[in-house]
Amino acid sequence: MFGRRKKDAAEAAAGEAEQVVEDMDQEVGEEGEPGRVNLPPAPRPDGPWDVSEVGRPSEGRVDLGGLFVPGVEGMELRVEVAGDAIVAATVVLQDSAVQLQAFAAPKKEGIWGEVREEIASGITKQGGVIDEVEGPLGWELRAQVPVQLPDGTGGVQVVRFVGVDGPRWFLRGVISGQGAVQPQAAGLLEQIFRDTVVVRGEGPMAPRDPIVLKLPEDAQMVPEGVKEESQAESRFSGGMGQLQRGPETTEVR
Grouped pLDDT means (10 residues each) for the chain, 253 residues: 48 60 52 56 85 83 93 89 88 94 92 95 95 95 92 92 96 96 92 95 92 79 40 29 32 36
Distant-in-sequence, close-in-space partners of 253: CB < 8 Å, separation ≥ 6 = 1, 234, 235, 236
Report the C-alpha gap between 8 and 43 in whole angstroms. 37
User: Which region holds residue 235: left if phi is over 0, alpha if psi is between -120 and 50, else beta?
Assistant: alpha
Report, at the CATH architecture level, how domain 9-28+44-233 is classified: 3-Layer(aba) Sandwich (3.40)
Would you tell me how many other CB atoms lie within 10 Å of the CB of residue 49?
Answer: 20
pLDDT at 10: 60
Per-residue confidence (pLDDT) for residue 38, from 0 to 100: 67
| pLDDT attached to residue 98 | 96
230 φ/ψ sector (left φ>0, alpha ψ -120 to 50, else beta):
alpha
Domain residue limits, the chain: 9-28+44-233
Q: In this structure, which amino acid lies at residue 128? A: G
Q: Supply the pLDDT for residue 233.
A: 30
DSSP label of 39: P
Residue-level pLDDT at 53: 92
For the chain, what percentages of helix, strand and coil (3-state, to nearest 5) are there? 20, 30, 45
What is the predicted pLDDT for the residue at 42?
Answer: 76
